[in-house]
Structure formats: C-alpha cells, structure tokens
Amino acid sequence: MAITSAVYASLFSSAASAGSVDFSFLAKSSSSTATTANVGSVKSALVNAEKNEAKQLAQVAKDPQIQKDLARYEKVVKNAKSIDDVLNDPVARAVLMTANGLKGDINNIALAKKAMTSDPNNANSVAVKMSSINGAWLDFAKTYNLAQNGLDALSPQNNGAAGRWRLSFDREGENIEAMLEITKVRGGGYQAEVDGVPVPVTIDGNSIKLDLLWRDSADELRTSTFNGTLGKTGLSGTFTNDGETKPATWSAPAYFADAIKGVRDNYIAEKRLDMLDAQMPGLGSAVLFKQSASTFENAIDILGSPLAREVVTTAFNIPKQIAVQSLSAQEKAITQRMNPAKLQNAHFADQIAQRYLIMLNGGLGGVTA
C-alpha cells in the first residue's frame, strides 16, 4: 500500500528546482552519521509541507494503489451486512482505521470490533476505556456511533423512502436541520420520527407527506405540512405553515450521504502524512501535531494522544519508559520541560515541532521552546 516513487518525485521536484528546499540529504541512509537534521532543513521541510498541502493531497489521490484501496473499501462497505464484514476485509479495515487515526491497531481486529461498536456515552464502554491510551477510539465511536446508527454511518442504508434523512429547511429566518427517520411497518405502511419525536407521515410510491408541530416566536403551537418526492439525491419538495399560503422549499438527502467521502478524504490525508514521513522521518507527524496542537490544553491531553506524546517526549528527550510510571509522574516529566497551555500559540507549537524533528533525525539542538 506504499505510494509510488513517481508521486514522491513529482511532489518535491518543483520545490527543489526552485531552490526552496534541498531534499538530497534525505536520500542518504538513516544510519549514516552524516544524516543529521539542522534548524534550516527542518524549517524548510515544514514550510514546504504546509505550503504545498493541496498539491500533495491531489498527487496522493491520483496514486493507483490509493485509488485501488479506496475502491475496495467502498465496495465492501456498500455490500456489508455488519461491521464484521468491513473489519474482516484486510483492505477495507486498513482504510477505515487509517482514516480515523487507528492504523497502529489495524491487526487488532477483536479490539476494533468491540471499541467501534461500543456506546461512546457509556463510561464503561471499550471506546471510553481505550481513550486513555488512544483518544482516536472514542473519537471514532462518537463520530460514527455504530452502536446506534449501525452501518448507516459508514454507507447510507436507505431503501426507498425508508432510512435516515437529513431534513433541512428555513423557518422564521432560521435554518433548521434534523434527522428524519422513516421505517416500514407491518401491512406495508410507514412510521416516521424527527429527532426522535414521532410525526404523522403518508407515503405513496415516491410521494411523501409530513406534518410537523412547532412553536413560533410568540410561543404559539403551529403545524407545517411538508409535501415532496423521492429522487436520486433524496427527498425534496415544498412546505407551508398553517395560516400561510406561500410555500417554501425543503430537502432531505441521506443523513450519512458524505460518509464514504469523509473516509476517503481522511485516508488520503493520512497517506499524505505517511509520504511526508518517508521524505523526512517524523515530518508528517510534525505537520499533524502543528495542526492539532491547540487541542492539547494540558499534560493529560498530551499523554492521551499517541501523536502528542510521541512528539513531546521525543522533542524533550523524555525516555519512552515513562509510560510505566504513575500518571502524576508522567505529567511532571512534561510540565517540568514545557508549559502545555502555550501550545495554544502557533509559534510555540511550531518550535516544538521543529525540536521534535531535529531530535528524531540526529540533531543535537538549536531550537528552544
């Protein structure tokens, strides 16, 4: 699943020819004592990576292996009957987990099945418990909530009018969005809920009618009648509020219509970071750290993120064995060397990222933080 050498070359050839970055030293063996990073090379690598992000993402997206992986993922999720079908496929599993910051556990299928389907709101769930080791597990559970949404969150499971729809319309100058869930009942009928509240619904072929109760700005109870049809992009039509004659438009695409695209974009972004790591060890991690640094407000946040933990401990030469010490001892090891609150400052985060790259690539200093 590696990105081809042609992609690497095309991504950096223009920058090198322009004299902005010289990556020739990267071709040397990482074991060579001559291959050490310095402040200049590190700064240039970071600037180039951030400046050319759009171009790099576009190039990675064109990589044949990346396209093949994503095509396989889409095929698997669209035909899957359960999350097991997705995770049991090596390629689909790799794409989904890599896209969600879980590539380090790609081979831990049993854990993935338990964590991904656990309730993110249950303090005793696997996802919540694992969040102390890798917050990406809880992020995944919150983002997709497979325990509640099932495979719908990965690929829309809509069948005709039945399914989850993202109802959207304007009312009293405010845009309203809600989940419209339509299910079939015995006898061929349908029932519907809007954000969990039952609402009257009539469906005849591709035609649909909904009645919604709501309170206006004067706290008066009113009714909106929605009429529409089912088309290729979902449900849509017009609605009127009681006491009014001028109709307004509404739409309801599949609630998780962008699910596959979301995984696709995240996967490409992660593979771009892998590509950067191949160009300079740790470069992808440094770029991602800078992007997410403001979310780490204290030492606990740093310790709970594999990325932040790796960057900070490497930057300050904190032994990896710190992981076996008490949490308070780990916190102290970090706060004695830096003030985590300063990561809200982009310049400080950049200094940490530079120091990380220098230390990782054999440098002896030159960047203070």
Q: What is the CATH number of the domain that holds 88?
A: 1.10.3700.10
Residue 142 in any domain: the answer is yes
Q: Are residues 233 and 220 in the same domain?
A: yes
Looking at the domain assignment, is residue 98 inside a domain?
yes
> What order of strands is seen across the sheet that includes strand 174-184?
197-199, 190-194, 174-184, 163-171, 248-252, 234-241, 221-231, 207-215, 201-204
Q: How confident is the model at residue 127 (pLDDT cuts 50, 70, 90)?
A: very high
* pLDDT at res. 364: 57
Pair 80, 22 in one domain: no
**Same domain, yes or no, for 183 and 264?**
no
Give the pLDDT confidence score for residue 348 in this predicted structure.
95
In this prediction, residue 221 carries a pLDDT of 94
Q: Is residue 83 part of a domain?
A: yes
Banded model confidence at residue 369, pLDDT cuts 50, 70, 90: low
**190 assigned to some structural domain:** yes
Q: Which domain holds residue 218?
A: 163-252
Q: Which residues pair with 209 in a beta bridge?
A: 202, 227
Is 181 in the same domain as 209? yes
Counted domains in the chain: 3
In a domain, residue 367? The reply is no
Give the pTM. Answer: 0.78
Question: Percent of the chain scored above 90 by pLDDT?
Answer: 77
Residues 10-22: tens digit of each pLDDT: 443 433 333 332 3
Question: How confident is the model at residue 299, as a pLDDT?
Answer: 94
Cβ(268)–Cβ(66) below 8 Å: yes
Residue 366 placed within a domain: no
| Together in a domain, 262 and 291 | no
**Calpha distance 14→143 (Å, rounded):** 38
Question: Looking at residues 182-206, what average pLDDT do you find?
Answer: 94
Say yes or no: 285 and 172 in one domain: no
pLDDT tens digit sequence for 308-366:
999 999 999 999 888 888 989 999 999 999 999 999 999 999 999 999 999 998 865 44
Residue 120 has pLDDT above 70, yes or no: yes
Do 89 and 141 belong together in one domain?
Answer: yes
Q: How much is the mean pLDDT over the chain? A: 87
Co-location of 28 and 63 in the same domain: no
Domain end residue (candidates: 207, 234, 252): 252
**Is 122 a member of any domain?**
yes
230 belongs to a structural domain: yes
130 and 196: one domain?
no
C-alpha dist (Å) from residue 64 to 8, 23, 290, 366: 13, 25, 29, 40
